[in-house]
Amino acid sequence: MSKRIDNREFVVTWLNSESIEEVAKALGRSKGAVAAKATELRKRGVQVPKFTKKLSETAQKLEVAQLNSLINKHQKEGR
């Protein structure tokens, strides 16, 4: 059984990280354990900020391509 994550260490690590994956790696825990700890602290009134989801570079390129395709299709149908 792993020892409890110290609340102060957790919050400092969280604030110095860019993702839940980074927090998990830094603390040697699973993403699920880290997410559960953040949720537990939030329920107790600690204002643990939420990470914003960032699209991977591949997903961003795919989204741009899909949006451009949609625009091109719309322009062709309208003319």
pLDDT tens-digit series, residues 49-71: 998 877 666 777 777 888 888 88
Domain containing 49: what range?
Answer: 7-78
Per-residue pLDDT band at 2 (split at 50, 70, 90)? low
Q: How far apart (Å, rounded) are the C-alpha atoms in residues 5 and 46?
A: 15
State the amino acid at position 38 in one-letter form.
Answer: A
Does some domain include residue 70? yes
Does some domain include residue 40? yes
State the amino acid at position 8 in one-letter form.
Answer: R
pLDDT tens-digit series, residues 27-54: 999 999 999 999 999 999 999 999 887 7
Q: Angle at the Cα of 32 (from 53 to 4), degrees rounded to 5? A: 125
Number of domains in the chain: 1
44 within 8 A of 10, measured Cβ to Cβ: no
Does some domain include residue 45? yes
Q: What are the residues whose beta carbons fall under 8 Å from the beta carbon of 18, sequence distance 6 or more?
A: 51
Residue 24 has pLDDT above 90, yes or no: yes
Does some domain include residue 41? yes
Residue 17 has pLDDT above 90, yes or no: yes
Whole-number pLDDT of residue 71: 86
Helix (H) or strand (E) holding 26: helix 20-27
Does some domain include residue 1? no
Does some domain include residue 2? no
